[in-house]
Structure 1
Amino acid sequence: MIYKVLKKQNIGKSCIVCGNKNELGLKSDFYELENGELVCVCNTKDWHQSYPGRVHGGISAALLDETIGRAVSIGDDQVWGVTVSLELKYKKPVPTDEKIYVVGRITKENRKLFEGTGEIILSNGDIAATAHGKYMKMPIDMIAGEEFGSDEWFENPDDVEYIEIPDKK
């Protein structure tokens, strides 16, 4: 399915999921889509493995957690979430050295909390893992303190206008 990209979200310098200066990180990109969902595009590498050729389950969990947690920022980039709980179901191995898509959405929200779901979609459309998370809304200064400035969180623009996500199987 092809989706129109409304906005690309900022990235962090050192984040394990999106940090562009983290040598071992995933260097993922996050795009807000026309359907209200957030998609993370990630190219897995050999150094993300557990068993040979398979991404470590903790890496999959981090990708799902980050994507669902970031989905609350669609439409308001001042809203931040801190994970309260995350439940995952692993269905298929996530291969190393493959482009994967992680889709997240908000399913419930109030003034202080939100919930969301997400899935990792492999390049062939297989769903490798699903998650449900609960998060607390917090201001960034309470999460990161004074260390979180423009050198830590910044735009990483590209010219992506549309993203094709494999049809789920």
Structure 2
Amino acid sequence: MKYKVIKKQNSGNSCVVCGVNNELGLKTSFYELENGELVAICDTKDWHQSYPGRVHGGMSAALLDETIGRAISINDETIWGVTVSLDIKYKKPVPTDATIKIIGRITSENRKLFEGSGEIILPSGEIAVTATGKYMKMPVEKITDGELTSEEWKHVEDKEKLEYIEI
């Protein structure tokens, strides 16, 4: 299905998942969709591998953790998710040198916690990895040691603005 992109979320500078200046990172972009879900797009590389041609399972877990954890900020940019628990199920290998999509959504929440689920979608449309997680809601100033500056957390424009994403 095709969904309208409502907003592109900010990227970090050094984050292993979204850091635009982390040479070995995943450089993932995150998009808020009209259906209330968050979609991440990632181009996997050889240096993300475990076995030749396969993305390391820890990288898959990090992608799902970040995507589900970020989904809470769709409705409130001041709230971030801090992982309490994450359950991963590996169904198919995730290839290196491929563009994959990661979906994250909130399934329940209360004042202090939220739960979510997500999937890694292969270029073929198949689901490779699924996850469910529980997260604490926290403001960024309680998570980091310092202030989150505009140099560390910034909006990065795409070469071509995405108006729709097909899942």
User: Structure 1: any 5+ residue segments left out of the alignment?
Assistant: none
SS of equivalent residue, structure 2 residue 30:
strand
Deviations 1:57-81 (A, max 9, x none): 0000000000000000002111111
Report the CA distance between 1:147 and its aligned residue: 4.0
Report the CA distance between 1:145 and its aligned residue: 2.7
Rounded Cα–Cα distance in structure 1 between residues aligned with 2:157 and 2:9: 9
Residue aligning to 2:116 = 116
Q: Is 2:144 aligned against 1:144?
A: yes
Residue aligning to 1:128 = 128
Counterpart AA for 1:19: G
The normalised TM-score by structure 2 is 0.97
Moved over 4 A (4+): none
Between stretches 137-146 and 4-13, larger displacement belongs to 137-146
Counterpart AA for 1:56: H
Residue aligning to 1:43 = 43
SS of equivalent residue, structure 1 residue 3:
strand
SS of equivalent residue, structure 1 residue 114:
strand
Between stretches 34-43 and 149-158, larger displacement belongs to 149-158
SS of equivalent residue, structure 2 residue 76:
coil
Q: Is 2:71 aligned against 1:71?
A: yes
Between stretches 122-131 and 138-147, larger displacement belongs to 138-147
Counterpart AA for 1:140: V
Rounded Cα–Cα distance in structure 2 between residues aligned with 1:148 and 1:35: 29
Residue aligning to 1:162 = 164
Residue aligning to 2:6 = 6
Rounded Cα–Cα distance in structure 1 between residues aligned with 2:63 and 2:86: 12
Between stretches 115-124 and 141-150, larger displacement belongs to 141-150
Rounded Cα–Cα distance in structure 1 between residues aligned with 2:139 and 2:153: 14
Report the CA distance between 1:137 and its aligned residue: 0.7
What RMSD over aligned residues (CA atoms) do the two structures have, in Å? 0.7
Report the CA distance between 1:163 and its aligned residue: 1.1
Residue aligning to 2:80 = 80
Rounded Cα–Cα distance in structure 2 between residues aligned with 1:122 and 1:58: 17
Counterpart AA for 1:133: G
Residue aligning to 2:107 = 107
Report the CA distance between 1:157 and its aligned residue: 2.1
